[in-house]
Amino acid sequence: MSGPGLVLRKLTLAIDDHVLLRNFELAIAPGRIVTVMGPSGCGKSSLLAAITGVLEPAFRFSGDILINGRTISQLPPERRRVGILFQDDLLFPHLSVGDNLAFAIPPDRRGVVRRTLVQDALADAQLGGLADRDPASLSGGQRARISLMRTLLSQPEALLLDEPFNKLDAVLRQQFRSFVFERAGRLGIPTLLVTHDREDAPAGEPILVWPDPGPGQIDVR
Amino acid sequence: MNIRNSIRTMTPIADTSCIRCPPSARLVGCVLTLGIALLGFCPTAGWAADWSATEARANGQTVYWDMWGGDAQVNAYAAWAAAAVRTRYGVDVHIVKLADAAEAVAQVLAEKSAGRIQDGKIDVIWLNGENFAAMKRNTLLWGPFVAALPNASLVDTQGKATTEVDFTVPTEGYEAPWGMAQFVVMYDSKLLPSPPRSILALAAWVQQHPGRFTYPAPPDFIGLTFLKQALLVLSAAPERFQRPVDESDFAVATAPLWRFLDAINPYLWRSGRAFPVNGPAQRQLLADAEIDLALTFNPADASNGIASGLLPETVRIFVPDGHSIGNTHFLAIPYDSSVKEGAQVLINFLLSPEAQLRKQDPKIWGDPTVLDLAKLSPDDRARFERIYRGVATLTPADIGTPLPEPHPSWVVAIEREWQRRYGSGVRR
Amino acid sequence: MICWFPRLTAFLIVAPILMGFVGTLLPAFGYLPAIGGTTLTLAPWGALFATPGLDAAMFLSLWIGTATTLFTFTLVIFFSASWSGTRLGGAITRFLSPLVSVPPVAMAAGIAFLLGPSGWIFRALSPWATGFTAPPDFLLPQDRWGFSMIGGLMVKEVPFLFLMTLAAVGQEETKRAFQVGRSLGYGRMIAWIKIVLPAIYPQIRWPLYALLAYSASVVDVAMILGPTTPPPLSALVTRWFFDPDLSLRFVAAAAALLQSILVLSLILVWYAGERMVALFAGAWLRRGGRGAGGAIAAALAAGGMMAAIAVAVFGAGAMILWSVSTTWRFPNLTPTKLTLGNWAAGGAMLGNAIANTVLVAGASTSIALLLAIGLLEHAARRGGASSRGLAFFIYLPLLVPQIGFLFGIQMLLIRLGFDGTWVALLWTHLLYVLPYVILALAGPYRRLDPRYAQIALSLGASQARALWRIKLPILLRPVLVAAALGFSVSAGQYLPTLFAGAGRISTLITESVGLATSGDRRLLGVATVWQLVLPLLAFTIAAFIPAIVFRHRRALRPL
């Protein structure tokens, strides 16, 4: 069970004596989107934290996480290349829209290239010309799109979505949902969505109800 | 000694004094400094070589001068002296202001207890009485050094015996006299045309005017001096206090003092439950009209206060009992100072006629000189005699012969007994 | 690297306190070779307990510590209970906050003039109301029971405790619980006391202990406002340490230990009191009484708060007037002659002290800020697990009476040849600056959404880059406020400056204490105004920098 995409192998996650997941297995091929559903507080966010590498020390965790055959579970968060979107856009409030985007671009891109990348990302999100704006002056939908573009600019090899549509109203929610799925699919990024709302899941993709602590196994390659 | 040398040295002297003097006094000032500068270059030969070596070594040294810093005028004077010594001798003088000279004693003691033999934090201390006695006893002072100072020869050791005997303890050259002090009383002549002029009259007056008199709480030196004045005046045998205190007759010898204090204590300001911490604090009470009499060790204090707007123009002073305790305050060098040359240069400058004249001017400080006017040049003498004393300063004739200080051991014993009786809150 | 911060800080804080205690302990049992103490003996304790008035001095320390803490606590609790969330409460909060930064000595100097028989209050009433043409002979401010000292301490400590309470109450669950309480038919005050207070008490417990320790052992304020015959124990100890009679040094060391024991017992008694209240309060809470209106208590609390503000404002105003007056005699309400000459004289006299104050405060605050950020970042990366460790750093220096170990530190510094050096001065200031910087920064740091840093990491930024480019810029305002608080704390340190500066390095506060106890009120006015201006300036800068930097960032501007 290795190869391209995001692979979780024999993942066990526990806090104190409470086991959240035991020997959990999951594989997501590039461009595919797997939805994990479960009630709030079940540990979905902790699973994502384990993948991004920011799990609090109180949790115990074992198993392997691989991206495109590369084991990342021992890497520090900044070298995992796992992008994440939360239900809040979390644009850095002290930076302009353009600087928020530029912050995400890997340092090996320099000068004009960086600026072009920022311009392109803004144009792609139909927000051209807003580079110098204060994030706080943007609408919720605009902020959400910037947030996604920021994540994509960091060239992630996997994308995690932590109820990212939750705070948007019904119309925006539909728009942003397809915006996200379309780009994740186009860029061929394996995507893991956690939500408590079945409506969020993309059509035709697998939905996994939050597994009991017992072993779950899903392969969507 | 050659002309070129003296010219080079004179220049900065003339500079500083001309800048600082008001225009009207500028000419006088320049003439004056010229005279002093010339005087400075006609000393006798004996120590000249040694002293110039000292001055040479002093150049570039940094001297810390620890002194009681509770009086703005004294501080301003010290700052002037420090600046003068810096420009003239290249000695960098830093003034360290203390709430009590005893803090400096504590510091040197702490250094000694830590085994330090050099690089002490204090190079010059302003002190007298019990602080000197304590430092001398614990060998915390360096010396004898006074005889080596050129200007020490100008000190009036005959007429002012206290310049060599500090509270009955012989100074033996371990501290250099700096200024004279005389215990006097200030009062507002508008509010109190005829103040009680003796300790006995004071006792009766205090009882008739409750809350209008107090004295600084020991260990403040003015408060202690008040106690000593009463001790000497009320005692049938004041000569007893020239010898050290003795357990066996302490009670008997001091009984009149405690009778006096017991009698006035309930009628003091704040019913004797609080005391001002020092002289300036008491002077502020006089300025606030909370009390009618204030004590001071500086006969020019009242003129000073009037000039600066602190005290009403009607404040005057008198010498209690016709003659009061007088003493001398000194400058000493701790054993572990690493810049003893710089310290000596500073002290020698403070003993110069120029510095002493300025110090005696009531507009500046008003602290009487330790020098013998007869040993000065006629011009210098004339300058001392010309000092404007202010409306509320007495002439030396009014002040009379000072009472000698008791042995310092009495101070410690009296302070302890005072604390027990009036400072501890135990009502009897 | 970040994992070294707790260890480094522990060393910086614990080492001097521990060694200082040893340096005090030995002389307390007669060991101080320099003045002939070479054997261990109980003699200093004998001499100490034979001191007339010792019992009164001890009583004063205990009484002033207890009364200040109890009154402050009561006032803050009743005010918070009856006025939090109201318009009046908001207004008072805005006035109260700046008072935290005022050095206690500056406050005490102003209060001494307000309360004194020749002070402003009596001048305002004389002679038309009181008939006094000369100041009356009342024992104020240094009254025997220390009420003026308690009042002076309260003006300073009420704002501090109030802001600590406000920070604790700010948490969402507490607010919701309070609203639920109100909906169950509890009045504002009773709901606050029964629901909010038990929830927040654990968070204000340590500030209360610190307040208890401080007010039972403070020296500078006691020298200005406290009783003098005898003074509280701490002032007596200081007096003995600087007495020319060197044998008193042993007694002073013993008394310094006694002071520490007193403070420790006070805290233990307070703790026992807490447990007792907890024991009986349960039944009281279960009984479900809705309480009477509490209108009188509410009015008193508001009055108390406004009085504290008024005293501070008028005290500062009086000092400003004194700083420009030539002559100002009783019963004149304002000076008869004004001058700027005092400022020139004060500038010449205080210039060095002002520069030193700024240097020491600036340097110690910078170090403290660095350590505090290191500690908080360490705690944040460890998942908040070491918040107990943080509390240790915050409260150890605040719970130990300064006089208990500063003498020992001085001995140590001298032995190392460090006394009177900037290193020594900065180090001792750091002991007191660091706790307040952590205290001010911990809340905002903890409240900062951890997902900002997680996002930054997931975007490929290193931990350091996430800290410097994301977290600290977002926290710029609280970081600067913490710095301003640290600055003002340093500017208010009297004993540490006195001991570690060895007199060579004088700051505004050492000059001010000298001036406050010895007279010239005009120069004291100048020094006090400087003492007020410096922290004010620091807080102003702390407010302006974010306002300018973030002028185009709505989310980071104050509401």
Domain range holding C548? 4-20+57-339+346-556
Which tokens hold the place of C130?
Answer: 């009181």
Q: What percent of chain C has pLDDT over 90?
A: 47
Whether domain B184-326+402-423 has CATH 3.40.190.10: the reply is yes
The reply to whether C35 touches chain B by the CB within 8 Å rule is yes
pLDDT at A1 over 60: no
Please indicate whether, in this complex, the C-beta atoms of A136 and C454 are within 8 angstroms of each other: no
Q: Which residues of A touch C558 (CB under 8 A)?
A: none
Instruction: Identify the closest residue of chain B to C523 by CA–CA distance.
Output: B72
The span from the CA of A151 to the CA of B314, in Å, is 84
Q: C-chain residues within 8 Å CB-CB of A135?
A: 555
Q: Which helix (H) or strand (E) holds C95?
A: helix C87-96
Contact A88 C552 (CB under 8 A): no
The secondary element (H helix, E strand) that includes residue B165 is strand B165-166
Residue of A nearest to C550 (CA): A94
Question: Which residue, B316, B215, B224, B324, is CA-closest to B275?
Answer: B215
Domain count, chain A: 1
Nearest Cα to C213, choosing from C5, C339, C65, C350? C65
Q: What is the CATH number of domain B45-178+327-385?
A: 3.40.190.10
Check CB contact of B121 with chain C, cutoff 8 Å.
yes
Residue B101 Cα, gap to closest chain C Cα (Å): 8
- Set of chain A residues whose Cβ sits within 8 Å of the Cβ of C462: 76, 78
Q: How confident is the model at residue A220 (pLDDT cuts 50, 70, 90)?
A: low
Radius of gyration of chain A (CA): 17
pLDDT tens sequence across A32-50: 999 998 877 778 889 999 9
pLDDT tens digits, B25-70: 444 444 444 444 444 343 344 455 689 999 999 999 999 999 987 7
Q: A1 in a domain, yes or no?
A: no
Domain span at residue A118 reads 6-219
- How far apart, in whole angstroms, are the C-alpha atoms of residue C479 and residue C543? 11
Distance in Å, alpha carbon of C461 to nearest chain A alpha carbon? 6
Q: Are B36 and B151 in contact (CB under 8 A)?
A: no
A139 close to C (CB below 8 A)? no
List all chains that touch chain A, counting a touch as 3 or more CB pairs closer than 8 Å: C
Q: Which residue on chain C is closest to A159 by alpha carbon?
A: C458
Q: Do the Cβ atoms of C458 and A79 come within 8 Å?
A: no
Q: How far apart are CA C77 and CA C98, in angstroms?
A: 20
- Show which of residues 424-463 on chain C sit within 8 Å of chain B, judged by CB atoms: none
> How far B347 CA lies from chain C's nearest CA (Å)?
19
Chain A residue with Cα closest to C477: A94
Helices C521-549 & C341-381 angle (0-180, nearest 10)? 40
Distance from CA of B106 to the nearest CA of C (A): 6
pLDDT at C142: 85
**Most B CBs within 10 Å: which of C144, C495, C520, as the mutation test of the B interface?**
C520
| Domain edges within chain B | 1-42, 45-178+327-385, 184-326+402-423
Structure tokens at C357: 């104050």
Q: Which two tokens stand for residue C486?
A: 């640290």
Beta carbons within 10 angstroms of residue A3's beta carbon? 12
pLDDT class for C387, splitting at 50, 70, 90? low
B106–chain C Cβ distance below 8 A for any pair = yes
Cβ C105 vs Cβ C224: under 8 Å: yes
Closest residue on chain B to C346 (Cα): B72
Residue B371: the pLDDT is 94
Is residue C228 over pLDDT 70? yes
Of B111, B168, B114, the C-alpha closest to B142 is B111
Flag whether pLDDT at B3 surpasses 50.
Answer: no
* Residue recorded with tokens 């410097």: C468
Q: Report the first-to-last Cα separation within chain B, whole angstroms.
A: 70
Kindly report the nearest CA distance between residue A161 and chain C, in angstroms. Answer: 12
Measured CA to CA, the distance from residue A45 to residue A161 in angstroms comes to 10
Q: Cα(C555)–Cα(C464) distance, rounded to whole angstroms? A: 24
State whether C451 and A53 contact (CB < 8 Å): no
**How distant is the Cα of A159 from the closest Cα of chain C, in angstroms?**
10
Q: Which of B119, B121, B275 to mutate to test the interface with C (most CBs of C within 10 A)?
A: B121
Do chains C and A touch, with touching meaning 3 or more CB–CB pairs less than 8 Å apart?
yes
Q: Is residue C545 one of the residues assigned to a domain?
A: yes
pLDDT of B419 reads 87
Q: Is B273 on the interface with C (CB under 8 A)?
A: yes
Contact C520 B99 (CB under 8 A): no
B92-98: strand order across its sheet = B92-98, B62-68, B124-127, B326-332, B175-182
Q: What residues in C contact A106, CB-CB < 8 Å? A: 460
**In chain A, what is the straight-line distance between the N-terminal and C-terminal CA atoms, in Å?**
10
Q: Which residues of C37-55 are buried (b: 16+ CB within 10 A; e: fewer)?
A: beeeeebbbeebeebbbbe
- Does the fold of domain B184-326+402-423 match that of domain B45-178+327-385? yes
Note whether C511 contacts B97, CB cutoff 8 Å.
yes
Q: What is the 3-state secondary structure (H, E, C) of B251-297?
A: HHHHHHHHHHHHHHHHHCHHHHCCCCCCHHHHHHHHHCCCCCEEEEC
Q: Which of A53, A94, A104 has the CB atom closest to C550's CB atom?
A: A94
* Amino acid letter, residue C438: I
Reading the block at residue C296, the tokens are: 């009188």
Provide the token pair at C441: 């920064």
pLDDT confidence band for A105 (50 / 70 / 90): very high
Other CB atoms within 10 A of residue A139 CB: 9
Query: Does the structure show a pLDDT above 60 at C184?
Result: yes
| Residue B399 pLDDT grade (very low, low, confident, very high; cuts 50, 70, 90) | confident
pLDDT, mean of residues A67-94: 93
C246 near C27, Cβ under 8 Å?
no
Residues C16-75 pLDDT 10s? 898 888 889 999 999 887 667 888 999 999 999 998 889 999 999 999 999 999 999 999
Contact residues on chain C for B363, CB-CB shorter than 8 A: none
CATH number of the domain that residue A82 is part of? 3.40.50.300
Task: Please enumerate in sequence order all residues whose Cβ is within 8 A of that of C217, keeping only pairs 6 or more positions apart, or say none.
Answer: C61, C65, C233, C234, C259, C262, C263, C401, C402, C403, C404
Q: How many CB atoms lie within 10 A of CB B113?
A: 20
A206: pLDDT strictly greater than 90? no
Domain count along chain C: 1
* Nearest in space to C376 (alpha carbons), one of C460, C301, C434, C452: C434
The span from the CA of A218 to the CA of A209, in Å, is 11
How many interchain CB pairs under 8 A, B with C? 190
In this prediction, residues C154-165 reach a mean pLDDT of 92
Interface of C with A in 209-238 (CB under 8 A): none
| Interacting residues of C175 by C-beta distance below 8 A, sequence separation 6+ | C169
Structure confidence at residue B24 (pLDDT): 45
Q: Tell me the pLDDT tens digit for each residue of C233-274.
A: 999 998 888 776 678 889 999 999 999 999 999 999 999 999
Q: Which of A54, A57, A86 sits opposite C457 (nearest CB)?
A: A54
In the predicted model, is pLDDT for residue B299 greater than 80?
yes
- In this prediction, residue A145 carries a pLDDT of 94
Nearest to C518 among B107, B134, B280 (CB): B280
How far is residue B418's CA from residue B224's CA, in Å, rounded to a whole number?
A: 10
User: Considering chain B, what percentage of its residues have pLDDT values greater than 70?
Assistant: 88
Angle between the N-to-C axes of helices C387-399 and C197-217, in degrees from 0 to 180, rounded to the nearest 10 = 30
Is A58 within 8 Å of C383 when comparing Cβ atoms? Answer: yes
Q: Which of residues 349-388 of C touch A (CB under 8 A)?
A: 382-383, 385
Helix (H) or strand (E) holding C296: helix C295-323
- C447, B143 contact by CB (below 8 A): no
Peptide bond between residue B219 and the one before it cis (omega within 30 degrees of 0):
yes
Question: Does A have 3 or more CB contacts under 8 Å with B?
Answer: no
Residue C371 within any structural domain of the chain: yes
Could you tell me if A98 lies within 8 Å of chain C, comparing CB atoms? no
Assign residue C520 the CATH number of its domain: 1.10.3720.10
Q: Which residues make Cβ contacts (< 8 Å) with residue C366, sequence separation at least 6?
A: C483
Lowest model confidence (mean pLDDT) among A128-142, B103-117, B310-324: B103-117
Q: Which helix (H) or strand (E) holds B126?
A: strand B124-127
Distance CA B373, CA B382 (A): 9
- 210-229 in C: which are within 8 Å (CB) of B? 223, 227-229
Q: Which residues of B touch C414 (CB under 8 A)?
A: 110-111, 113-114, 116
The full DSSP string for B171-212 is -TTSEEEEEEEE-EEEEETTT-SS---SHHHHHHHHHHSTTS
Across all residues in chain B, what is the average pLDDT?
A: 84
The SS3 of residue B360 is helix
Neighbours of C447 (CB within 10 A): 13
Ranges assigned E (strand) in chain A: 6-15, 18-28, 33-37, 59-67, 70-71, 82-85, 158-162, 191-195, 207-209, 217-219
Q: Which residues in chain C have Cβ-Cβ distances shorter than 8 Å to B100?
A: 242
Are B259 and B252 in contact, with CB atoms under 8 Å apart?
Answer: no
Distance CA C425, CA C448 (A): 34
| pLDDT in the model for residue B178 | 97
C480 touches chain A (CB under 8 A): no
CA distance C314 to B278: 27
Lowest mean pLDDT across B289-298, C289-298, C335-344: C289-298
- Mean predicted lDDT score pLDDT of chain C: 88
Q: Are strands A59-67 and A6-15 parallel, antiparallel or unpaired?
A: antiparallel
pLDDT score, position A2: 60
Q: What is the pLDDT of residue B31?
A: 45
Q: Provide the pLDDT for residue B29.
A: 43
Spatial CA neighbour of C253 closest among C40, C48, C13: C48
List CB contacts (< 8 A) between A78 and chain C. Answer: 457-458, 460-463, 466
Chain B contact for C335, CB < 8 A? no
Chains within contact range of chain C (3+ C-beta pairs < 8 Å): A, B
Q: Which of B114, B122, B275 sits opposite C415 (nearest CB)?
A: B114
